Structure 1
Amino acid sequence: MAKHDKNKHEERQHSQQNQNQEIDTEALKKENEELKQKLDEALRAYAKCENDKKILKKETDALIDYAYEKFAKDLLPVVDSLELAITHANEIEDKAEAFDKLIEGVELTLKKMLDTFKNHGIEPVEHDEFNPEIHQAIQQVQSDEHEEGAIVDIYQKGYKLKDRLIRPSMVTINKKS
């Protein structure tokens, strides 16, 4: 009987091992399915990110390509004014009067241009005192009317775009002997 009990005991153990293997197989299958779902979700998220990157790049490229559109539209009236000034000056027979009208038109056009610049954050550089960060000294002269290093004359105005210098002013400064 001991042998029979021993065999029954072994059969139970073997049966239990088979059940454990079945349970483990089922658990592995379930875990495998969950991993497949997570992988699928990760791949979809990656694909969405890639698509979003492409869309963002396309939109950024379009913004860069058309960044100057508003500025260009604001400059069109300046071009119109110049064309109108030339047309009107050519229609006037008295050349002295034509010249005076042309000067008046150019002055109005310059004002319109500077207003357009200001609307877009472009302003002339200040010329209170010489500053090598915003002025380029192209010549030194001697003048008793000005202090040492003071700006005597401006050859070309400088301009800033917001806080960034886009062109320094070219100036003459005083040098005492």
Structure 2
Amino acid sequence: MGKKHNKPQKEEKNNQQNQEKSENLDIDIETLLKQNEELKQKLDEALRAYAKCENDKKILKKETDALIDYAYEKFAKDLLPVVDSLELAISHAKEIENKEEAFDKLVEGVELTLKKMLDTFKNHGIEPVEHEEFNPEIHQAVQHVQSEEHEEGEIVDVYQKGYTLKGKLIRPSMVTINKK
């Protein structure tokens, strides 16, 4: 008899535990649903932020490309007077009947134009390379000669000037150096 009496108590206890588990499950499901919704919102925010970054990247690339395309505009505008001077020198030289006078005027005009060109270069950070002492980082030795007037390794002659752009070498000087 004791066994029959214990069975309804066990069932009642099991039902009570199942009900508690069910309530706990309901709470857990509700919590999980809330967390899921929050995660969806955060994912949506992250995707929007990513899309904004991608758009910003495209805009920056487009702006950078435009800046590069027009970076030389000021330099080009500053060179136009040099071209004007050369054209004017040629035009005036043709008008002068005395060829010696025309030649002298042409040389004078070319010298003034060269000065204008070098000033324009300087204004844009383009400087000629110094030629005091041979430096393989900025000079290119194209010939070796023997000279009693110069020290070993000293620059004897400059074939072509080198230039730097804001301190960076853009063309080395081509030089002759003394080799004893």
TM-score, with structure 2 as normaliser? 0.88
1:130 to 130, 134, 137: 134
**In structure 2, do the counterparts of structure 1 residues 3 and 101 end up closer, same or farther at CA, with 3 Å as the change threshold?**
same
Match of 1:113 in 2: 117
* Counterpart Cα distance in 2 of 1:25 and 1:109: 85
1:160 is paired with a residue whose SS is strand
Q: CA deviation at 1:10?
A: 4.0
CA-CA distance at 1:7 after TM superposition: 5.1
Deviations 1:9-65 (A, max 9, x none): 444333322222221221111111111101101111111111111111111211222
Report the alpha carbon displacement of residue 113 of structure 1 after superposing the two structures with TM.
Answer: 0.6
Q: What is the aligned counterpart of 1:28 among 28, 32, 35? A: 32
Pair 1:149–1:11, CA change in 2 (3 A): closer
1:160 positional shift? 1.2
Pick aligned residue for 1:154 from 142, 145, 158: 158
Q: 2 CA distance for matches of 1:172 and 1:5?
A: 113
Determine which of 83, 102, 114 is the counterpart of 2:106.
102
Displacement of 1:147 after TM fit? 1.9
Per-residue CA distance 1:86-135 (angstroms, 9 max, x = gap) = 11111222221111111111111100110111111111111112222222
Aligned Cα root-mean-square deviation (Å):
1.9
Alpha-carbon separation, structure 1, partners of 2:93 and 2:101: 8
* Alignment CA distance shift 1:103-1:17 (3 Å): same
Counterparts in 2 of 1:7 and 1:175: CA distance versus 1, 3 Å: closer
> Which residue in the other structure is 2:171 paired with?
167
Q: Point out the more displaced range, 37-46 or 154-163.
A: 154-163
1:167 counterpart letter in structure 2? R
State the alpha-carbon separation in 2 of the partners of residues 28 and 175 from structure 1: 86
Secondary structure of 2:141's aligned partner: strand
1:65-104 superposed matches below 5 A:
65-104=69-108
Gapped runs of 5+ residues in structure 2?
Answer: none
CA distance in 2 between counterparts of 1:154 and 1:10 reads: 105
Which segments of 5 or more consecutive residues in structure 1 lack a partner in the other structure? none
Residue identity (%): 80
Aligned counterpart, 1:45: 49
